[in-house]
Every structure is written in C-alpha cells, then in structure tokens.
Amino acid sequence: MELLTDWVEWLPRLLSGLWVSVQVTVLALVIGIPIGFVLAFMSSARNAIVRWLTIIVVEVGRGMPALVMLQMVYFGLPEAGVVLDSFAATVIALGLTTSAYTSEIIRAGLRAVPEGELEAADALGLKRGDIVRFILIPQGFRIALPTLMGFAILILQVSSLAFTLGLPELLSQAYSIGASTFEYLEVLTLAGILYLVITVPGGWLVENFEKRLSKHLA
C-alpha cells in the first residue's frame, strides 16, 4: 500500500520526465531519418569520393557509442563556439546517431527491392527518375519500415543517457527522487515500467508488421 501511495506521488514528475524523453526522441527521429535517407543514397553514389566519404561518416556514427556522441556535442561543441542547452544537445546528438543508423537501414531496404520489379519497370520504359521515385523509394521504405520502427524504440531507450547532461528526462527525474527519498529501488523500477509501457507494445507492433510484410513479399 505504501508502495502504491509513493508511486502515485511520484508519477506526475516521472510522467513529465517521460514527456521530455518522448520529445527528444521524436525530434531526433524527425531530424535524423531524412538525413539518413540522403546518406543512404550518397553511400551508393557513382562518384567514388562521395561514396567513400559517406561510408566513413556513417561507420563513424554507428561505431561511436551514443553516450560519447552526447557528451561530445554537449561538452565539446562549446569549445568550437557553439553552446547548446541539454535539450538541444540531446536532440542533435541523438539525431546524428539516428541518421547514421537509419542510413544503413534504409540502404538495406532499397537493396532488398526485388530486382525483377526494377527490371519490369525498365521494360515498361519508365525513366530512371520515375523508377527511383515511384518504385524503388516506396518499396524500399516499406521494407525498411519495421526496422525503422524498432530503431525508434531503441532511440527512446538511448534518450535515457541524456540524464548525464542534466536533461530532466525520465531517468534523471527518477534518480533525483531516489536521491531525496532513498527509495531507489521503487522509483527506478517505476521508471523502468514506464519505459516498458512504450517499448513492449511497440515491439509487438514491430513484430506484427514484420510478419505482415514477410507475407506480403512471399
């Protein structure tokens, strides 16, 4: 019973934290996915220099832990004269990470478009640009969608690392409640449950989508 009253008391603060987590996640995705899309195309560019530079940028973005990216943007950019608050820094850092990862996801999606469909489009006399716009991109995006959704869930989880920048998201709210009440186990567990409320149904949705898609392509 005491646990319940505690939880009810903490919930508003935790929910406001969750709201911040969701905001930075959505903004990171909104910024990162379009960049990822462009990178996906650049990484298969004809020009070898463009292609290799893109591949290096993407590999660096994917190889670097999100925590390093966050700290680098927040503590490092001021040295270059760009001072950001923790919210903006989080959005930018997660956005960069997103663009690197999603470029690979989208590239894989584009590559998975069956060769035969592209040939059929060729044989119908469709122009290169039309094939890319009406066949390759919609189809590739559809194939990539479940993985992109899975990645969106992952980024929500990663956003918890922004507590190291002092962003008042879910984990930092939970931690500071813990610090003042010493009920670490209870409040952190509740925070964990709040994450689960989003990530678990999200995961089911992704599974469902994947199943439907694999039936679709079969």
Residues that bind another protein (CB under 8 A): 59-60, 63-69, 71-72, 75-80, 114, 116-117, 119-128, 130, 134-135, 138-139, 142, 156-158, 160-161, 163-164, 171, 174-175, 178, 182, 184-186, 188-189, 191-192, 195-196, 199-200, 203, 215-218
Nearest to 139 by CA among 120, 114, 104: 114
Write b or e for each residue in 137-154: b if 16 or more Cβ atoms lie within 10 A of its Cβ, otherwise e.
bebbebbbbbbbbbbbbb
What does each C-alpha distance from 139 to 22, 101, 145 come to in angstroms?
Answer: 28, 19, 10
Q: Residue 37 CB, nearest distance to another protein (Å)?
A: 17
Q: Residue 160 CB, nearest distance to another protein (Å)?
A: 4
CB-wise, 12 or 76, nearer to another protein? 76
Q: What is the distance, to the nearest Å, from the Cα of residue 24 to the centroid of all Cα atoms in its chain?
A: 10
CB-wise, 49 or 123, nearer to another protein? 123
Q: Residue 208 CB, nearest distance to another protein (Å)?
A: 14
- State the Cα–Cα distance between residues 159 and 92, nearest whole angstrom: 12
Token pair recorded at residue 92: 């930018």
Question: How many alpha carbons fall within 13 Å on the CB side of residue 31?
Answer: 16
Q: Residue 50 CB, nearest distance to another protein (Å)?
A: 21
Q: Which helix (H) or strand (E) holds 34?
A: helix 2-42
CB-wise, 4 or 185, nearer to another protein? 185
CB-wise, 87 or 175, nearer to another protein? 175
Q: Residue 195 CB, nearest distance to another protein (Å)?
A: 6
Cα–Cα–Cα angle for 204, 210, 212, rounded to 5 degrees = 105
**What amino acid is encoded at 129 in this protein?**
G
Q: Residue 146 CB, nearest distance to another protein (Å)?
A: 14
Q: Is 26 exposed, middle or buried (0-12, 13-18, 19+ CB in 10 A)?
A: middle
